[in-house]
Amino acid sequence: MGVFLKIKPFTLIVIAALLISLAPYSIKPVKAADEYDSMRSKWKSLLVGGAYDPNDPDISVQIASNTKTAQSYWDTLNKAVDRTYLWSDYSNWSTNSANITNSLTRLKSMAIAYNTPGSSLYGNQSLAQDIVNALDWFYTNMYNENRPEYGNWWDWEIGTPQRLNDIAVLMYDQLTSTEITNLNNAVDRFVPDPTNRTLNNIAETGANRSDKAQVVIIRGILGKSETKIVQGRDALSQIFLYVTSGDGFYADGSFIQHTYVPYTLSYGNVLLAGMARLLYILKDSSWDVTDPNVQNVYNWVTDSYQPIIYKGAAMDMTGGRKISRIAESDHVTGQTVIASIARLSQLAPSDKAASFKSMVKAWVQQDTTFANYYKTLPIYDIVLIKSIMNDNTITPSPELIKNKVFASMDRVVHLRPGFGFGLSMFSNRISAFEEGGGENLKGWWTGLGMTYLYNNDLTQYDNNFWPTVNSYRLPGTTTDGTGSGRPIDWHFYENPYNWVGGSSVDDLYGSAGMNFSLSQNTGSPLEGKKSWFMFGDKIVALGAGITDTNNANVETIVENRKLNSNGDNALTVDGTAKPNGLGWSETMSGVQWAHMEGNMAGSDIGYYFPGGTTLYGLRESRTGAWRDINTGQSTTPYTNNYLSLAFEHGANPTNASYAYAVLPNKSAADMAAYASNPDISILENDGDVQAVKDTKVNAVGANFWNDSSKTVSVNGQSFITSDKKASVTTLESNGQLDIGVSDPTQSNSGTINIEINRASSGVISLDPGITVNQLSPTIKMTINVLEAKGKTFTAKFKSTNIPCLQSMVASFTKNNWIDNAGISNSLQEKLTNHDLNSFVAEVQAKREKHISSEAAKYLLRDARYLLSVK
């Protein structure tokens, strides 16, 4: 017997009302899902968050925040039938293309909320109707196949179509086939080809190309067009390749955009995120990426990003104009890079995937600057990063120990446990800075030898550093305070000199240098030569040839550090505590060392001044607004306190010089002890060569400034000779001599000849391009640097040994430098018996009698070396 439900009249009314409310939607017949539908579903998961627990406290906070934002946009949406804009504050969209993109940003926020389980707006049909109506109006009035471009091309060809595609994916089930076709036609009008700009037909590169490839691929998914998906996918192949000029990633880890600006953390960051998205959407589809060069994307992580992220902070020296935006601090930028690396860990080969996850875990654990690390992340990334953090099989990466020269973008990093050092330079290849669209108005000095020191003071370059620091007295720079007025938009502020770069040895120690002139930057005649030698736990900085005729006071800024809120961090100079009140300044003479208290444990810094120097100290409070450095930012004033130390070269110096060492994480007591027994010696500091030896690690760095033969001596004995402009770094340890050589000019079309005053018992390894001409009595080698692009060539040699000395005695006897066979036999016998002390005594006794002075020099050199390592 059937059971009949008795339905009350009120219930029938409610059902009827629901049916009427659904009337605007044409219900599509259910079709079997195809591959396009599966890919569209994947992209929707990326936008909304995929499978997640809405009760997770971090996710629920994000859902609530997103809902609140979407609700505010919905409340202020202009819903009038005769509307001429979608939001009143974007009513000038017909003259300002940015507000076309901005309108879709808001509409996308609403569409995400509509599709987010756990949101109070989830599945709200009134919201869906308003979104679809707005989208229809948008297509009819703002963006369609008949509209011309005006304003910024980026809005028409990247910003707007990307958002339009996302909204179409999110609202696909509410859109008719005609509406989908209309939106696709609009996108095809402005992005018919991802490899070229529609506005002017120039070739797209780097991040722009990736962004447009995304536009075309998602448009292909929406329109179920294999042709468009293939077109977008194939546009990626050029991006995978390393470039040797212009925009893109370089084999040395550099990233350039706008031809001459380091932009790893801006455009490069966008590109990395784009690759993570596109490789995800194409994976396991009929259009998966099969180009073997896609492996370079995973190399970008280790070569380009890992060295410039310190405890979650992405080093601002590769951010370009982004440093002038309050919302893009080093840690916020680092967070976006880390999220992309986490995504790539799901796609990379297993060994790289494991490494990426370890990096992510370490950086998230180390970065304590966020009250809640997940608060601002998209839900998809919250789920992914939490899965990594909660996986006990993943071990956090240890702190990276590395010295790396990014020769193609004039940047250098030196990383050790407890600190990271960054160096920003400019050349005839790389601009000092970039200003554009009113952003980065005071960037004049950011690429002129500015040094960054990252330690446990994780917010040193955060909390309004950039609008409050004295932009004309940045640490590391030699400055005359020039650079006024608004810079020229997108201008190449070049250095007329090309000697800019450096060399590394074993990726552990390095030398860097910059021959600079401000003539094409600020217009000042100031010029000079600057070098930095990075040995273990210290950085040694030298300056020479500093000359100016501008009648301005010239300084070299050793430090300009942001202090605590009271500005009273202790400064100790040669054991004397200096006044800690704001407003203090003093010119101090005969300074041997200084110590600055950090803002927290693990952030103290020591400074050593070889031979003593006169130093100017200043403790000041500074106020500035982000509007001062970016016309699109807030006028709200912020105040920070700073302590600076500087060499004063005076007005119109001629061939002035300086020398100092920075020793991170040292106490005042450490510095007093160090100054009494330093482990560095300045070998040369002039216009021909700048060179330093670190006796602690037995490393030598030398920058040769001229194309003429020049020798650097150590302890009165010649050590390195170069016949060309070159940077050379050497390390002697464990019976081995390692040598790194580069052509920092990147203009030498021939060779560099290097002679090292050591004998070798054999070659361990040589980079291609190195020819060894002799191993004894000195090492001579020729390096072919044609098209080397500033790379370091590495040679590794076995140190001298007893057989090597025996061979040397035989050779000297043959060429009559030892003119007595009996003496030669006696020396060989002592070597056979390993009696080095007697060998030394006999050589000294027969020197300039039967053994030439030159032969004795080499024999004693190697015998004493062997005695020292016994």
Tell me the DSSP string of 576-590: EEPP-STT-EEEEEE
Q: Span 93-112, mean pLDDT?
A: 98
Point out the catalytic residue in the list 106, 219, 233, 258: 258
Decide: 322 and 265 in contact? Cβ < 8 Å: yes
Phi and psi dihedrals of 409, rounded to 5?
Answer: -135, 15
What value does the mean pLDDT take over residues 500-505? 99
CB contact at 8 A, 531 and 686: no
- Residue 242 has φ and ψ, to the nearest 5°, of -75, 140
Q: Which pLDDT does position 271 carry in this prediction?
A: 96
The pLDDT value recorded for residue 16 is 38
Among candidate residues 73, 260, 267, 373, the one labeled active-site is: 267
Q: Rounded CA gap, 162 and 17, in Å?
A: 37
Q: How confident is the model at residue 32 (pLDDT cuts 50, 70, 90)?
A: low
Query: Is there a contact between 682 and 659 (Cβ–Cβ < 8 Å)?
Result: yes
* CA angle 511–517–518, rounded 5-degree value: 125
Q: Are strands 779-784 and 751-756 parallel, antiparallel or unpaired?
A: antiparallel
CA-atom Rg of the chain in angstroms: 32
Options 163, 321, 561, 619, the catalytic residue: 321
**Three-state DSSP state, 63:** helix
Percent of the chain surpassing pLDDT 90: 95
649 is catalytic: no
CA dist 843 and 867 (Å) reads 15
pLDDT at site 19: 36
**pTM of the predicted model, to two decimals?**
0.92
pLDDT digits (tens, 9 = 90+) for 308-356: 999 999 999 999 999 999 999 999 999 999 999 999 999 999 999 999 9
608 alpha carbon, distance to own chain's centre:
28
d(CA 700, CA 758): 13
Residues 6+ apart with CB under 8 A from 350: none
Residue 11 banded pLDDT, cuts 50, 70, 90: very low
Q: State the pairing for strand pair 656-664/699-704.
A: unpaired
What is the Cα 443 distance to its own chain's centre? 17
CB 736 within 8 A of CB 510: no
Q: Measured between alpha carbons, how far is 821 from 804 in angstroms, rounded to an integer?
A: 19
Those residues whose C-beta lies under 8 Å from the C-beta of residue 749, and which sit 6 or more positions away, are: 786
Q: Looking at residue 817, what DSSP letter applies?
A: S
- What is the set of domains in the chain, with CATH numbers? 34-199 (1.50.10.100), 236-400 (1.50.10.100), 402-681 (2.70.98.10), 682-799 (2.60.220.10), 802-868 (no CATH)
Position 176 pLDDT exceeds 50: yes
Report the pLDDT value the prediction gives residue 8, as an integer from 0 to 100.
40
Indicate if the pLDDT at residue 5 is higher than 50.
no
Determine which of 14-28, 537-551, 665-679 has the lowest per-residue pLDDT on average: 14-28
What's the rounded Cα separation, in Å, for the pair 691 and 707? 16
Segment among 31-35, 487-491, 580-584, 719-723 with least mean pLDDT: 31-35
Cα 31 to the chain's mean position, in Å? Answer: 48
pLDDT tens track for 750-779: 999 999 999 999 999 999 999 999 999 999
462-472 pLDDT, tens digit each? 999 999 999 99
The arithmetic mean of pLDDT across residues 685-697, rounded, is 98
What pLDDT is stored for residue 26 in this prediction?
37
Please check the confidence at residue 21 and state whether its pLDDT lies above 90: no
- Number of residues that this document lists for the chain: 870
For the question of residue 258 being annotated catalytic, the response is yes
* Best CA proximity match to 744, nearest among 528, 452, 506, 425: 425
Helix axes 98-114, 57-76, angle to 10 degrees: 130
Tell me the pLDDT tens digit for each residue of 817-867: 999 999 999 999 999 999 999 999 999 999 999 999 999 999 999 999 899
Mean pLDDT of the chain: 95
CB-based contact 86:107 (threshold 8 Å): yes
Please state, in angstroms and rounded to a whole number, the distance separating the CA atoms of residues 846 and 822: 12
Model confidence band, residue 13 (pLDDT cutoffs 50, 70, 90): very low
pLDDT attached to residue 683:
99
Arithmetic mean of pLDDT, 19-37: 54
Mean pLDDT within 54-76: 97
| Residues above pLDDT 70, as percent of the chain | 96
Tell me if residue 114 is catalytic: no
Largest pairwise CA distance in the chain: 130
- Check residue 869 and give its pLDDT: 78
pLDDT class of 27 with cuts at 50, 70, 90:
very low
What is the CA angle 291-43-165, rounded to 5?
100
The Cα-based distances of 667 to 424, 575, 675, 740 in angstroms read 27, 11, 12, 33
C-alpha–C-alpha distance, residues 569 and 48, integer Å: 47
> Does residue 4 carry a pLDDT above 60?
no
When pLDDT is averaged across residues 555-582 and rounded to a whole number, the result is: 99
> Bridge partners of 795?
739, 766
- pLDDT, tens digit, 9 for 90 and up, residues 609-646: 999 999 999 999 999 999 999 999 999 999 999 999 99
E strand or H helix at 808: helix 802-814
Element of type H or E holding 673 = helix 668-676
